[in-house]
Structure 1
Amino acid sequence: MPTLHGKTVTDRAEQAGDTTHAKIAQRIKVPQSTVSRLLAGTSEPSVRTLLRIKAAYGIPLDDLVVEDAPASAETGAEAAR
């Protein structure tokens, strides 16, 4: 599951003066609970949310997402069946 690179977002948000989850949420137009879950890594970001963060803070999409470790070859082979 890809997760949001929270440190990148919070660093850029702080530079923009958004020092709370509420301010980040207001800027990217999502509920505060969504921001909290994304920054905690307990929720997968939607494409729409990623694009909103990119637009609000000028963070490239590649820098916003952290991919989990790739699946093992055995798991990949099983998925292909």
Structure 2
Amino acid sequence: MPTLHVARLREKAAEKGDATTYAIARRLQLRQSTVARLMAGETTPSVPTLCLMRTAYGLSLDDLVDETALAQRKARPGRKRAAS
């Protein structure tokens, strides 16, 4: 699952005058609660949502995906299931 690079999105959004999750949501035509969850890392963006962000803020998909977070996820050992 892609991890959103929130800092880059916020930076580009601010350049366009979108300083709040509400302003970002309006530009992307998404619900404010959806954008808030994405920015808080509570949910991962879908490919269509990443494409909306790319178009609205002139970012590449590479700019929007946080490679560091992806690498950290891959490096974590998986959880073992408890025996039944």
Instruction: Give TM-score scaled by structure 2 length.
Output: 0.79
Aligned partners of 2:21 and 2:39: how far apart in 1?
A: 9
Percent identity among equivalent residues? 45
SS of residue paired to 1:25: helix
**Structure showing the higher strand proportion among its residues:** 1
- Structure 1 residue runs without a partner (length 5+): 76-81
Give runs of ≥4 in structure 1 deviating > 4 Å. none
Aligned residue identity for 1:45: P
Aligned partners of 2:62 and 2:20: how far apart in 1?
A: 24
Root mean square deviation, CA, Å:
1.7
Aligned partners of 2:53 and 2:36: how far apart in 1?
A: 14
Where does residue 5 of structure 1 map in the other structure?
Answer: 5
**Count of paired positions:** 74
Aligned partners of 1:22 and 1:14: how far apart in 2?
A: 12
Instruction: Give TM-score scaled by structure 1 length.
Output: 0.82
